[in-house]
Chain A
Amino acid sequence: MRLSDRASDLPESGIRKFFELAEARDDVISLGVGEPDFSAPWAARTAAIDSLERGKTSYTSNRGMAALRERIAAHHERYNQSYDPAEEVLVTTGASEAVDLAFRALVDPGDTVAVHEPTYISYGPGIELAGGERLTVPTRAEDDFALTRSALEASGAAAADLLVLCYPNNPTGATMTDEEYAEVAAFCRENDLRVIADEIYAALTFGTNHASIATRPGMRERTVVVNGFSKAYAMTGLRLGYALGPSDAIDAMNRIHQYTMLSAPTTPQYAAIEALDRCDDEVTEMVNEYNRRRRLVVSRFNEMGLDTFEPGGAFYAFPDCGGDDEAFAEELLEAQGVAVVPGSVFGAGGEGHLRVSYATSMHELKEATDRIATFVENR
């Protein structure tokens, strides 16, 4: 069958190759997993079950259940974000749909979208599917992978129409402080850039509260914030996300949403209400556990000579493997049965690094890092 050029031109995800390599073996310890090793809190799961038992299986409002939007808006007060649940919140099928809707609502064919890299793999294809052109803004290990004004200037982002931000970041675990956002925000205001801020890992920060560019002066009206329930509440398979932003942007996204998804699935919306109402303790417990693992993993990599900065959020470490990251990851899998993802899969700036997920048990992390140390010694 003849395929559209857009579909034909889409490259296969670099992660796919490592998935297949890892799946071909049955003795692998995987540090390649981009999702929590916890299950969704039981209270959220029972709310989902209860909704099914009561036969609540109809469509919800296109924008999502009003009760859920109210709780989402209330929840975001903790990040100093204030949004009107009626006009400025849209519930989506995973944060991925929210990102896609934001691209389609904000990008015209030929528009330039600046994306800092390394970063999550879906932004580039999403921009291309929306008809935009991607402009890469490298972030550097020397800056702990924070986005800087000088990087924006050097890459020509002043001429861009839109900027995509993902902090806390997948794959680096990097976070941005309010002060670091201040200069990026100034750049956006001066050059009239709108922003899509993917903050799916906002709840998973260590020692500091999440900062958002949308809270900087003059940024709320030019920013769409994306978030969801996958990471903080370990609800990846329930596929529930949302967007927050100015009413005209949310309205435009909703118009696309209503012709594609119609509405986010109903059952996870009931689970999400319960998650926001009652599951803060579970989130705190998960964050504390990630924090212990983070410290262990980072110190072990540094001890074995793979320089690793201290990530401030998400559940990834991003060690420098000192050379060809793809070869390192393949040989490590072959020799020691440990799966990690090469940093170059996540774009420019990721080369020479590995994405190591510590969303796995302490026992497995110790075994995996022991094996990696042996591999590094013998290499």
Chain B
Amino acid sequence: MDAEREVLDVLARNAREDIDDIAAQTGLDAEAVAEAIAALEADNVVHGYQAVIDWDRVDEGKIRAVVEINVELDRETGYEEVADRIAKFPAVDALHLVSGDYDFAVEVLGETMQDVSRFISEQVAPMPEVTQTVTHYIMETYKDGGVRFEDGDDDDRLSVSP
């Protein structure tokens, strides 16, 4: 495994790891880790660092929805142009072009369900290329960003064992 891949594996688990701890876990020296991170950022492999948040545990937490969007393209407009316009909305947390029954899968964050509904009906649906939207509100999140949401307090192993 090359150095950048090893560093990525660690960052994907915990982006707050400091350089020395990444070096210790990967067996690289600190300088090599710093170089790898700089290269990954410069090459747009690493686009940013975010916390994985269980919004349900936050007072006045966020409403999250997955929205399916179908579009109809013309000669002048491609997926890229449509994606560019949808991605510009701050409410859009993630945007993917997908295979299957619809074209885009969009993750939308809002303060309330009305917020999200209004955003879809007033901002997304009127776009000329959009032919259909289907909104799925997320009821509960069990895992996000590769992190399982649980108390983490269920280690029932004996404290000392052979």
A and B together in one complex: yes
Nearest residue (CB) in A for B162 is A34
Q: Does A255 contact B (CB under 8 A)?
A: no
Chain B residues in 8 Å Cβ range of A292: 9-10, 25-26
Q: Does B160 contact A (CB under 8 A)?
A: yes
Partner of A366, one of B21, B27, B155, B158: B21
Chain A residues in 8 Å Cβ range of B13: 362
- Complex: how many Å from CA A288 to CA B162? 23
- Complex: how many Å from CA A362 to CA B10? 11
Q: For chain B, which range describes its interface: under 10, 10 to 19, 20 to 34, or 35 or more residues?
A: 10 to 19
- Contact present for A30 and B159 (CB under 8 Å): yes
Q: Does B15 contact A (CB under 8 A)?
A: no
- Contact present for B24 and A295 (CB under 8 Å): yes
Partner of A299, one of B9, B24, B159, B160: B24
Q: Does A19 contact B (CB under 8 A)?
A: yes
Within 8 A of B (CB), among A286-343: 288, 292-293, 295-296, 299-300, 339, 341
Interface string of A20-37 (1 = CB under 8 A from B): 001100001010111101
Q: For chain A, which range describes its interface: under 10, 10 to 19, 20 to 34, or 35 or more residues?
A: 20 to 34
Chain B residues in 8 Å Cβ range of A293: 25
Interface string of B19-48 (1 = CB under 8 A from A): 001011111000000000000000000000
Chain B residues at the A interface, C-beta cutoff of 8 Å: 9-10, 13-14, 21, 23-27, 152, 155, 157-162
Chain A residues at the B interface, C-beta cutoff of 8 Å: 13, 15, 18-19, 22-23, 28, 30, 32-35, 37, 120-122, 170, 288, 292-293, 295-296, 299-300, 339, 341, 360-362, 366
Additional A-B contacts beyond A22-B159, A295-B25, A300-B24 (9; CB < 8 A): A15-B161, A28-B159, A32-B159, A33-B160, A35-B161, A120-B162, A292-B9, A299-B24, A339-B159
